[in-house]
Amino acid sequence: MENQRIICCIVCFLLTFTGCFKDPEKLVDDPSGNFDALKEIIDTRYCYLDYKNIDWDEICDTYRFDAQSATTVYELFDVFASMLNELQDGHVNLYSPFNTSQYDKWYTDYPANFSSSILFSDTYLGKDYLYASGMYYKILPSNVGYIYYSSFSNAVSNTTMSYIFDYFKNCSGIIIDVRNNGGGSLSYSELLASYFFKKEMTTGYMTHKVGSGHSDFSELAPIITKPHVSLYWDKKVVVLTNRMSYSATNDFVNRMKSCDMATIIGDKTGGGGGMPLSSELPNGWSVRFSACPMFDVDKQHTEWGIDPDLKVDMVDGSNFDHIIETAIRWLTTG
């Protein structure tokens, strides 16, 4: 696929471009050496410093003394994790043999807008659902097809989707619920979106670093969504989102925003618009960071999330999922 070729070219370029930076392995494996390595990796390779108005030098000055004063690897890890959390990025992680850091305020500071107990109650999926390729699916009493897809790490299968579309063929429309889907493979997000497009469309853009400066980026390269060669759903589709719709899910939602038959309902996605890469500190710890920013069709960053077409929240204390109920009404009367 064209998008896969673009991504492969970007990754190959980045792997070559890393030779322009100081190799962290040449720095001393002590608190100061590891601190300097982490500082330089983010300073030269992280893609959102200018976009987020982050003063990385100031952050490093704030944490340098604590890092140099660390007496155990656990203390050093905590200092580095706190530094990285200043980037406010769920794609930024520090990996060690004893712990993994993560930034989670991109969803914990917002309403959940999802309840698995309600979803798997008899009102919706119950116990008589079908399951394949990571998808729970069922025809709801309103004659609406419903799919809950929890992770883009589960392979999207052409064969499975063919059966699902045939199973839903007499439905008035389908709901694809990607709430609490934290992402996975961009190839699967591209493939799932392809079933709903009649024609090839530019649905976004991507760029990559071409220098060590914070704003040294290539020209925007289009992200193309092509129709699938054999499968097409020709009725209305609603995509359900919440703040935990992240990374590859963010990409899927961005593509579906350009689909004529699709409507996005729920909460703003969590974002995660930067394709991540990893580097290693002298002590062997791995640092993952956003390297290639992605944009919507209007060339706006998707890092902070994508707004739904129709904003709907769950109602506390209710036994109904008001986001699903709104989607049903949209498909049957909208």
Domain ranges of the chain: 2-102, 111-274+292-332
Predicted local distance difference test score (pLDDT) of residue 13: 45
Predicted local distance difference test score (pLDDT) of residue 313: 98
Task: Please say whether the beta carbons of 314 and 111 come within 8 A.
Answer: yes
Predicted local distance difference test score (pLDDT) of residue 120: 98
Among 2, 1, 8, residue whose Cα is nearest residue 292: 8
Task: Please say whether the beta carbons of 324 and 240 come within 8 A.
Answer: yes
Distance CA(295)–CA(276), nearest Å, equals: 15
Helix (H) or strand (E) segment spanning residue 177: strand 173-177
Predicted local distance difference test score (pLDDT) of residue 334: 60
**Pairing state between β 130-132 and 145-149:** unpaired
Predicted local distance difference test score (pLDDT) of residue 90: 97
Q: Is 301 helix (H, G, I), strand (E, B) or coil?
A: strand
> pTM to 2 decimals?
0.92
- Looking at the structure, give the CATH architecture of the domain made up of residues 2-102: 2-Layer Sandwich (3.30)
- Split the chain (334 residues) into runs of 10 and give each run's mean pLDDT: 46 43 66 97 98 98 97 98 98 98 96 98 97 97 97 97 98 98 97 98 97 97 98 97 98 98 98 97 98 98 98 95 98 86
Q: Which long-range contacts (CB under 8 A, 24 or more apart) does 71-78 make?
A: 73/98, 73/283, 74/98, 74/99, 76/31, 76/34, 77/101, 77/285
- Looking at the structure, give the CATH architecture of the domain made up of residues 111-274+292-332: Alpha-Beta Complex (3.90)
